[in-house]
Amino acid sequence: MSVLKRSVFALLLLFAATAQSQNPDDLESIIESEKTAWMRQHAVSDRGLSIFADNRSDITYTRFHWWVDPAVRYIRGAVLTVFEPNENLSSLEFDFSEALTMDSIRYHGATCAFSRNGDILTVHFPGALPALLPDSLEFFYQGAPPTSGFGSFATGTHGPNTTPVLWTLSEPFGAKDWMPCKQALSDKIDSVDIFITHPEGYRAASNGVLMSENTQNGQVTAHWRHRYPIAAYLVAIAVTNYEELTVPLVFGNDTFPMVNYVYPQSLSAAQAGMTDLVAQMNLYNDLFGLYPFAREKYGHAQFNWGGGMEHQTMSFMGDFGFELIAHELAHQWFGDKITCGAWEDIWLNEGFATYLSGLCYERIATQYWKQFKRQRINQITSQPGGSVRVDDTTSVGRIFSGRLSYAKGAMVLHMLRWICGDSAFFAGVRNYLHDPALAHGYARTPDLQAHLEAAFGKDLDVFFADWYSGQGFPSYQINWSQTGGVVAFSVKQTQSHPSVAYFELPLPLRLFGPGGQTQDLVLHHTSEGQMFAEQVGFAVDSVAFDPDLWLISANNTVTKTLVGAGDLATAGYALRIEPNPARSRSVGAHAVLTAAAPGAVRLSLQTADGRTVFVQNRQAEVGENRYALDLNGLAAGAYWLRVGNGRGELVTKFLVH
């Protein structure tokens, strides 16, 4: 076993950020390899997989004991489950694959009756059980697990000697393929002990802390203990001839081990990858609070898969690349500490993990940050539709859509950061992670929204309607012109999908002038054809839209227009009536003119049939001008207000009642 001190890693951080950091194309390769592995191993339709056992109890403890051999695709298990009924009941359901044989179930030392219907196992108790009284069952079973999910129970070989290796990966619906459990995202097991018995010459990796490894009659039994709540799909084992690489992780006054089980031929690659992880762990600890399982460990177990899986306290890794390490580590906060409470909200797992790997580019390997954002945006906008919310949770492929659950989920978080600002965004996310009602449990999208709104101080309903359940993205057509020190903008928007009528977003612009002068502006865009006038201290040569890539958008255009005769809208003027409709016999209505340049203007009011009601000459200043309108005596109906300045005219319709 090799133990490397943190000081050595600190000296290597700069090297790691350049030598080990990888191109942000890694996300596509991670997702595609995961999809390929699933398609290769998944022999049956993924339809109908979201049928779960009824949740009628709270599982407080499980002791797993599995007998396995990495050279043989077979498992024998003894599982003790301690539970509290949520109600008075005489039977209890568990998820358990019909491909496995349930030899017996024992209750209070006696054999207990059970029945099976597909992958639902129902235990029938000899009498009614009262609610909230702790009780237990012990399951004895065996068989060759089926292939489902991402290959929930798999065997293979590795290395020049084709050494056998066994691993599990149960997300999303595969835990039942190798153990009786509750797969619905409603109840975490509060505490587990895991015993893995296997032939000598191998080591077994699992969740939590390794308590012992005992050998008897050529068989080794490893005992792992985990004392945090855990979802069934995050329980995992892996067995092969692992080398152990342990590194102490130090954060302030806290120290906990990073324990890595790696193939002997991969030891040097793993050591280099661990250098990256030290920097990433420190970043996440700073931004989101101490690693959630610091009382135990964080680690990796290598397996034969392209990609990784965030098993609680021990991620299973196909390799040790910068982005894969960052992604799986991020899941320990987002996916493990807080788990999505329904598969339609998988973005709370995958969107966050993808975005946090992007933050590692922003803060550690900075040369890749803009590329990361551009690739995510290009991926999202490569098709016109698709929501972050999973609209078909019976499809594993839809749940794990790289374009929507990963990339769009990540960039929706990036836009929330843009709208809320760094301080409110990160405070809201930290509060979400530390909410006692959510921490080490399950969450839904409204839970995250509520914490962001509390930190931001504003309602985010419209944003989440557009970007969580809505589909598509906006495209912007921006026209601009300059008169003296005032730059005028008109903004139009089209939407790629009809589910969203209009995307309301603050639009970032960067203005460029001679000699390298720049000025950043934000246009608070809420309606079609909206006009803006901004004071600028130099002659503008060009305007860039969203130069730092905050927004999900595509096919945008920025065009300079010349001020001249014609419609004043092209020169940055805007006109509206407040209120509209207006009440007759009042002076409470106002014409609101946004002007791009100072000067005299002419207001005229006309009836729908062209009759002029009045004409007024007013003076306009740059920016917003309000002119009171005397509507006394006007009949109810439609009217037209015209405003001109000799170079053009604006016209708007309003109603009087």
pLDDT tens string 472-519: 999 999 988 887 788 888 899 999 999 999 999 999 999 999 989 999
Could you tell me what percent of the chain has a pLDDT over 70? 89
The span from the CA of 122 to the CA of 115, in Å, is 5
Does residue 66 lie in a domain region? yes
Domain identity same for 351 and 459: yes
Domain identity same for 504 and 580: no
**645 three-class SS:** coil
| Final residue belonging to a domain, choices 527, 561, 595 | 561
Domain identity same for 538 and 580: no
Does residue 520 lie in a domain region? yes
Domain count of the fold of the chain: 4
| pTM value surpassing 0.85 | no
Strands 338-340 and 441-443 come out as parallel
72 vs 649, residue with greater confidence: 72
Cα dihedral across residues 270, 272, 275, 276: positive or negative: negative
Distances (CA, A) of 308 to 29, 176, 316, 324, 419: 11, 20, 5, 7, 32
Give the pLDDT confidence score for residue 561 in this predicted structure. Answer: 72
Residue 580: pLDDT band (50, 70, 90) is confident
Does residue 332 lie in a domain region? yes
Does residue 348 lie in a domain region? yes
Residue 533: give its domain's CATH number: 2.60.40.1840
Domain identity same for 106 and 182: yes
| Final residue belonging to a domain, choices 531, 561, 591 | 561
Task: Evaluate if residue 73 carries a pLDDT over 90.
Answer: yes
Q: DSSP per residue over 83-144, as a string?
A: EEESS-EEEEEEE--TTSEEEEEEETTEE-EEEEETTEEEEEEEEEEPTT--EEEEEEEEE-
Asked whether 196 and 136 are in contact (CB, 8 A), the reply is no
| Token duo for residue 551 | 């927004």
Give the pLDDT confidence score for residue 357 in this predicted structure. Answer: 98
Give residue 644's domain range.
573-656
Task: Note the pLDDT tens digit of each residue in 34-64.
Answer: 554 544 444 333 333 457 899 999 999 999 9
Residue reference for tokens 């708007």 = 652
